[in-house]
Structure 1
Amino acid sequence: MINRLRKALDRSPQYEATQLDLEEPFIQPSEDAPGVLLRIRPFKENQGIVDGAGLLQSVHDVTTNFRGKNTSDHHSFEVWFDEGKVKFYMHAATEAAADKFRRRVGNNYANSEVFPVEDAAAFPVIDPDQYVAGARLEMEKIPYYPIRHHNSEGWETDPYGEITSEMLSLDESTVVTQVIFRPAKQSWTDGDRFKHNSVDELAHALRQGTSVGWIDPQTRPPSEKDKRAATVIEQQRGQQAFHVNIRVLAASSNQDEAEARARGVAGMFRKYYNAITEQGLDDTPVWHRKESKRAKRLQRFVRRMSNREWIDRHMIMTVDELAGVAHIPNFEIETPNIDWRYTQRGDRVPADTGQYSYDAIKQRAGNRQSRQGGQDRV
């Protein structure tokens, strides 16, 4: 029995950092990357999640074809710990979307700097000697059961405080969280006859009670929690929503550090658990029991992240839910090394903007390989 249990555990996905099959550093020059990457230096005095919800509402533009199929572009919000700093980015699928994001971020996050990343790397560099670990996050239940957000159970503190703190690592390590979002049609709450019912049908079923027992099935009357969950689910009708992908990546010359950061950051997203609907985010490591196949899966995972690739994982979030997992924080979080903007006016671009030129990246990779550890975690 114990041996069978051990074998089962050995087959389950684990955070096992692995070196990729790279002969030279993985670099994605901005000119070769799809879309436009925008860097954001937030002014600390903002409303955090509330402003994030306003921003998402302003960019909820759904396009459909003549058959009514959703053909909307997907974009991403990203947080990087790279070169010893925590930085914020948005990736727009097109130039037009990038222009809109720049204006809308400026409107919702006053005094923040927003500028395109040019003549630089559009994704953190990964060196051949680094170990890589990653994970994707998905909802535990079907989409209509919302996760925790600022208008449901609320937050005592901004969840990004713990997420960004967990991202802090060795200066030569990299940690990335990536939230890809794509606007959903207004009919998203109507259900899918092949997958799940509508919000109204789910709410009605919760109010009818739960069938229990196999031999002599009986209906258990709905509890107060069931009734509250039904109301919460029902309230989503008519709300704007987005299809979502969430990914976490960590790379470090220290294998244990890469594993710890990927596991720790992904674990922080469990704090979005909604006790009323019993909905949360569950992390699945990128893994395979064979090292060679694990390296290939991780390499494909890195390329998907760098290309901002969209994969439909049937995860939908309302504006309020998505704002919780994709927003610019404010002075409430106390994480050190955040790339804040401290002045209220001016358009000065940070001095380190061009630090990712190809020659500089090559030099940095060489420096990494010539140094071996010796640094404490921040």
Structure 2
Amino acid sequence: MSKLSQLVFGSPQYDATQLQIDDPFVQHPESIPGVLLRIRPFKENQGVIDGAGLLQSVHDVTTNFRGKNTSDPHSFEVWFDEGKIKFYMHAASEAAADKFRRRVGTNYANSEVFPVEGGHAFPVIEPDEYVAGAWLEMEKIPYYPIRHYNSQEFEADPYGEITSEMLSLDDSKVITQVVFRPAKQSWTSGDRFKHNSVDDLAHALRQGTSVGWLNPRTRPASEKDKQAAKTIEQQRGQQAFHVNIRILAVSADKNEAEARARGVAGMFRNYYNGITEQGLDDTPVWHRTEDKRARKLHDHVRRMADRDWTDRRMIMTVDELAGVAHIPNDDIETPNIDWRHTQRGDRIPADAGQYDSPTDDDSSTDSNAENRGNNGV
């Protein structure tokens, strides 16, 4: 938002608002396109590395006769719901869901993967609950990569802080949603109407920077510029995805909804890449008037529940996206994560309920949530 717009309309802020609905907002599995999969991960996995392997295996680009990308979008989601951190993937079709089930089972051995059938395909929002939300986008144009495990390696899995920040009151809900759509192999070639290619950007960085207005001159490229140019160039030929990232917090406590949305969005700043000076910037869903703010938040909720795709011109390589969308391992210390603790297979019967199937020794600890899910409450 420009400075003039901020003066006239105010700056976007986290201002939790009720949706002005008479009945609970409910999304049932049969009412959404595609298939929602629940994942109960086994603690012992390679986290981000396994996530990269999974994304590579589902990078299926389809195009029409004109060469336009017609690939389906899918999503990876983390929910704090009913007092637990849970993991989901949404597949746009039955065929994609079957592939995801097999690929998750391959890359995250001993994890359970099963379709959500019955119950809810999105956390229920009551009329008297407050909602706060945001979407994330890159601070710079595409091709400047964010931090990932092969570039400025993380000291710890960023999901440790993200999931910890998601923990809230047991009757509150917090959702992070990453919608991803495979990009064509030519994604680094640029668009003459929007931005240059990776080669053009890297070349410009090596040429130095024009400084001064009355007496312009070229400042020679610094070592950081040269390093950034090399990092940008290395993306050529890599698989990538177009990406949307959304955040939602719901609570009967207005301050809690605002704090969770703001806090979770803030944790995504850990992906800032100091070499390319690229990071993720959050924009709250906001309007200065309450009625319009409620409508905008309702639209944000609906887009998340429908797993809607919007082109925000944000592209991430497999390595970048894996850092943002992956199943963590027991290196993170967040409590209340819905882990699987035994090493038996990767599937459960298709007629299992929405929540935990009683296949593990620890499943009794979530019996209340399971009963609520099976009763469709």
TM-score, normalisation: structure 2: 0.92
Alignment CA distance shift 1:67-1:353 (3 Å)? farther
Aligned-residue CA RMSD in angstroms? 1.5
State the match for 1:356 in structure 2.
373
Whether the aligned pair in 2 keeps the contact of 1:83 and 1:174 (CA below 8 Å) is yes
Whether the aligned pair in 1 keeps the contact of 2:120 and 2:376 (CA below 8 Å) is no
The residue type paired with residue 372 of structure 2 is Q
State the match for 1:267 in structure 2.
266
Q: CA deviation at 1:353?
A: 5.0
Q: CA deviation at 1:125?
A: 0.4
Deviations 1:159-206 (A, max 9, x none): 000000000000000000000000000000000001110000000000
Aligned partner of residue 203 in structure 1, secondary structure: helix
The residue type paired with residue 356 of structure 1 is G
Aligned partner of residue 124 in structure 1, secondary structure: strand
Structure 2 CA distance for aligned equivalents of residues 360 and 44 of structure 1: 29
State the match for 1:215 in structure 2.
214
Mapping of 1:181-330 within 5 angstroms? 181-330=180-329
State the match for 1:133 in structure 2.
132
Whether the aligned pair in 1 keeps the contact of 2:177 and 2:245 (CA below 8 Å) is yes
1:53 aligns with 2:70: no
Deviations 1:136-169 (A, max 9, x none): 0000001100000000000110000000000000
1:17 aligns with 2:38: no
Aligned partner of residue 26 in structure 2, secondary structure: coil
TM-score, normalisation: structure 1: 0.92
Whether the aligned pair in 1 keeps the contact of 2:139 and 2:281 (CA below 8 Å) is yes
Structure 2 CA distance for aligned equivalents of residues 20 and 325 of structure 1: 29
State the match for 1:372 in structure 2.
none
State the match for 1:97 in structure 2.
96
Deviations 1:43-63 (A, max 9, x none): 000000000000000000000
Whether the aligned pair in 2 keeps the contact of 1:119 and 1:354 (CA below 8 Å) is no
Structure 2 CA distance for aligned equivalents of residues 148 and 280 of structure 1: 8
Q: CA deviation at 1:356?
A: 3.0
Whether the aligned pair in 2 keeps the contact of 1:117 and 1:353 (CA below 8 Å) is no
State the match for 1:367 in structure 2.
none
Whether the aligned pair in 2 keeps the contact of 1:138 and 1:283 (CA below 8 Å) is yes
Q: CA deviation at 1:120?
A: 1.6
The residue type paired with residue 103 of structure 1 is R
Structure 2 CA distance for aligned equivalents of residues 165 and 69 of structure 1: 40
Instruction: Structure 1 unaligned segments of length 5 or more: list them.
Output: 362-378
Q: CA deviation at 1:8?
A: 3.1
State the match for 1:150 in structure 2.
149
- More off after superposition, 29-38 vs 223-232: 29-38
Q: CA deviation at 1:37?
A: 0.2
Deviations 1:318-359 (A, max 9, x none): 0000000000000100000000000001555624556335x5
- Number of aligned residues: 356
State the match for 1:119 in structure 2.
118
State the match for 1:44 in structure 2.
43
Instruction: Structure 2 unaligned segments of length 5 or more: list them.
Output: 358-368
